[in-house]
A and B are shown apart, each in its own frame.
Chain A
Amino acid sequence: MAARHRVANSIRRLRFDAGEMTQKELSEKVGVTRQTIVAIENAKYAPTLELAFLIARAFGKPLSEVFTFEEE
């Protein structure tokens, strides 16, 4: 049976490192709702590749530093 996976992320830490950037500020930078950022941070929603790249770009980090693919 194939193992279950999930997309984890470091957005909360990266927001803190970016001078306590708020979820609203990040959402405005990448053009989504604040609720979508909340859902991604809480791993309740896996973003599309395009949005994942936009979030990584907002922090000036490579995608692999923002999102990781983990086994549950």
Chain B
Amino acid sequence: MSHEERNTLVAILVNLSMAGWMTWRIAAMQGAGRFDGPDALAVWARTVLWVIPVGIIVTIAAVILFNIVFAIATRDENPSFVTDERDRLIGIQGMRVTLVVASAGFLGALVALALGAGTFAVLNAIFASFAAGDLLGSLAKLRLYRRGL
């Protein structure tokens, strides 16, 4: 398993964990009536905003940890961290999937808004579509690593 393939696998695990945790947190906050007041959108934005730096830090920590565990498990004293042309090509294909899914989700959210859906639900749908785009892009990359370009 190459360095970039390991990173892709870690990205999938982190994405699933973060998305699951965010879904639980937003649902819990909604249940507690935190989004009922006049500052509901500001509360939602503050909740979602800090997910970005936390996600980056968790991903970096998980990549380092996974690489250490992988090196120990495979008894590889000189693990390779090379990124090559195939990694870049697979990265572009994955990014394409991410963009298509996120764009479709954004468009769907705009249509829902035009049809009268609530702002809060639309914002959640946009956030979910970006998370789904990231996940599906990583899954597409993993599939390309396993089955070939």
Contacts and interface: CB of A to CB of B under 8 A. Distances in A.
A binds B: yes
Nearest to A30: B84
B2 A35 contact: yes
B80 A34 contact: yes
A39 B149 CA distance: 9
B148 interface: yes
Interface of A: 27, 31-36, 39, 42, 44-45, 47-48, 51
B148 A35 contact: no
Nearest to B145: A35
B85 A47 contact: yes
Contacts of B147: 44
B84 A32 contact: yes
Interface of B: 1-5, 80, 82-87, 145, 147-149
Nearest to A51: B85
A39 B87 CA distance: 12
B82 A44 contact: no
DSSP majority for the A interface? loop
Contacts, number: 43
A36 B80 contact: no
Contacts of B82: 27, 31-33
Contact of B84 (A31, A42, A44): A31
Query: Which 7 pairs between the two chains have the least Cβ-Cβ distance?
Result: A44-B148, A32-B84, A33-B2, A35-B2, A36-B86, A33-B82, A45-B149
Contacts of A27: 80, 82
A44 B148 CA distance: 5
Contacts of A33: 2-4, 80, 82-84, 86-87
A35 B148 CA distance: 10
30 contacts: A27-B80, A32-B82, A32-B84, A32-B85, A32-B86, A33-B2, A33-B80, A33-B82, A33-B83, A33-B84, A33-B86, A34-B2, A34-B80, A35-B1, A35-B2, A35-B86, A35-B145, A36-B84, A36-B85, A39-B86, A39-B148, A39-B149, A42-B148, A44-B147, A44-B148, A45-B86, A45-B148, A45-B149, A47-B85, A48-B85
